[in-house]
């Protein structure tokens, strides 16, 4: 956050020579923002604080500091509880700069996939600390075994604008990335003596399985896989049941050995599910509500609606987003139905498919 926080961190009581009173006010504002970042990290990592209070604080900050969101919120009454915070449509990340800080202060910008006709969205970050805390805590919360993680996604050096690759960089050692190196991966897995966790997009796994052809083997007991799904609207489409059958056929992994991650570039947190037919759930800092778009209210358990996500880790942009996905409300989370037919295809796997198509 530039000189402001560095200056305040040194214990100075006045801004640099020549600064005005308004600049001093800006210094204080940035210091408070940093404090909110740290409060959210403590809540993610240790459960300190209250979700509702932090979310309302984050919303007020975003409403004040993000001009497009400020204008958008003018069409809604001031929320009295966190569930009433106006959700920002995902398309806003393609239309406007959704950020609470000046552009020069961005440390990373992640991009959604897209074509010339549909454009792509951008998610700007003033710090990666909150995203990293949410990504690592969410991975642990998923319940997937804590074995060595093998990456079937591009490493961060090859995809610096991919939020998925950045997350993988925190989970996977540099030598354990095997993106599009299927022969090398085959040799590694065939000789593996210890259990591993394979991490990749549904498209990446499908491409690897097609490369294997008729070759099959069984990974060491305790091995698992994490797939990120999401190839609808691309050149390939495979039902989840059929994809998981390939895990069984080629790697000896049963459906309950395979986890699914639900996330997107516009978010900083993920939801996870294990096997087939089970609901997606997230950590205490991220909630998914299934909303009736005609009323804006949460549907009853068992009913279908549009998925709206409340993500505390999205502190630098918008914590409340209306997705383009349909879901069924479940007592323990939500069951994904699929994309809204009117929605544009996008997502981490879309970007991976673009790379594979080159």
Is 84 domain-assigned?
no
**Partners of 137 in beta bridges:** none
**Partners of 262 in beta bridges:** 271
Model pLDDT, residue 28: 46
**Phi, psi at residue 342, to the nearest 5°?**
-90, -5
Task: Retrieve residue 181's tokens.
Answer: 């190196």
Give the integer Cα–Cα distance in Å for 347 and 266: 9
Give the integer Cα–Cα distance in Å for 136 and 266: 17
Is 311 domain-assigned?
yes
For 135, how many CA atoms within 13 A lie in the half-sphere containing its CB? Answer: 20
Is 249 domain-assigned?
yes
How many CB atoms are closer than 10 A to CB 300? 10
Model pLDDT, residue 118: 62
Give the integer Cα–Cα distance in Å for 346 and 112: 7
Sign of the torsion angle spanned by Cα atoms 126, 132, 133, 137: positive
Give the integer Cα–Cα distance in Å for 218 and 205: 16
Q: What pTM does this model have?
A: 0.85
Q: Which residues of the chain have pLDDT under 50?
A: 1-29, 115-116, 344-358
Burial class (CB in 10 A: 0-12, 13-18, 19+), 34: middle
Total domains present in the chain: 1
Q: Are 350 and 113 in contact (CB under 8 A)?
A: yes
Q: What is the pLDDT of residues 305-328, one digit of tens each?
A: 999 999 999 999 999 999 999 999
The closest alpha carbon to 133, from 258, 240, 268, 257, belongs to 268
CA distances from 163 to 85, 169, 200, 217 (A): 25, 10, 13, 32
Q: What is the span of the domain harbouring residue 333?
A: 130-357
Model pLDDT, residue 8: 26
Alpha helices by DSSP H, listed for 106-174, are 129-141, 163-171
Is 71 domain-assigned?
no
Is 32 domain-assigned?
no
Is 12 domain-assigned?
no
Is 243 domain-assigned?
yes
Is 57 domain-assigned?
no
Give the integer Cα–Cα distance in Å for 56 and 53: 5
Scanning the structure block, which residue is given the tokens 């966190």?
A: 82
**Phi, psi at residue 138, to the nearest 5°?**
-65, -40
Cα distance between the two ends of the chain = 38
**Phi, psi at residue 212, to the nearest 5°?**
-65, -30
Q: Residue 352 sits in a domain of what CATH number?
A: 3.40.50.12780
């Amino acid at each position: 956050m530039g000189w402001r926080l560095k200056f305040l961190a040194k214990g100075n009581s006045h801004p640099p020579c020549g600064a005005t009173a308004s600049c001093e006010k800006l210094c204080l504002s940035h210091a408070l923002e940093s404090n909110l970042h740290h409060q959210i990290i403590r809540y993610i990592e240790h459960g300190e604080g209250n979700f509702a209070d932090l979310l309302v604080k984050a919303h007020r900050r975003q409403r004040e500091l993000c001009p497009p969101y400020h204008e958008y919120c003018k069409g809604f009454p001031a929320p009295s509880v966190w569930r009433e915070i106006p959700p920002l449509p995902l398309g806003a990340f393609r239309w406007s700069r959704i950020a609470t800080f000046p552009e020069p202060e961005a440390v990373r910008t992640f991009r959604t996939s897209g074509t010339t006709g549909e454009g792509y969205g951008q998610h700007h970050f003033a710090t990666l600390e909150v995203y990293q805390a949410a990504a690592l805590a969410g991975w642990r919360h998923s319940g997937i075994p804590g074995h060595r993680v093998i990456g079937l996604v591009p490493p961060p050096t090859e995809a610096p604008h991919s939020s998925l690759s950045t997350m993988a960089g925190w989970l996977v050692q540099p030598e354990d990335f095997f993106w599009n190196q299927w022969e090398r991966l085959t040799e590694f897995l065939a000789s593996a003596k210890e259990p591993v966790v394979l991490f990749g997009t549904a498209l990446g796994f499908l491409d690897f399985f097609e490369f294997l052809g008729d070759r099959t083997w069984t990974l060491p007991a305790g091995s698992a896989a994490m797939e990120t799904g999401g190839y609808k609207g691309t050149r390939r489409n495979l039902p989840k049941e059929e994809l998981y059958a390939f895990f069984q056929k080629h790697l000896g992994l049963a459906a309950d050995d395979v986890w699914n991650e639900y996330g997107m570039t516009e978010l900083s947190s993920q939801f996870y599910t294990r096997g087939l037919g089970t609901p997606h759930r997230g950590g205490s800092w991220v909630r998914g509500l299934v909303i009736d778009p005609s009323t804006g209210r949460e549907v009853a358990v068992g009913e279908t609606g549009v998925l709206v996500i409340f993500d505390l880790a999205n502190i630098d942009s918008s914590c409340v987003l209306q997705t383009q996905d349909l879901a069924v409300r479940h007592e323990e989370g939500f069951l994904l139905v699929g994309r809204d037919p009117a929605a544009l295809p996008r997502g981490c796997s879309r970007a991976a498919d673009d790379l594979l198509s080159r």
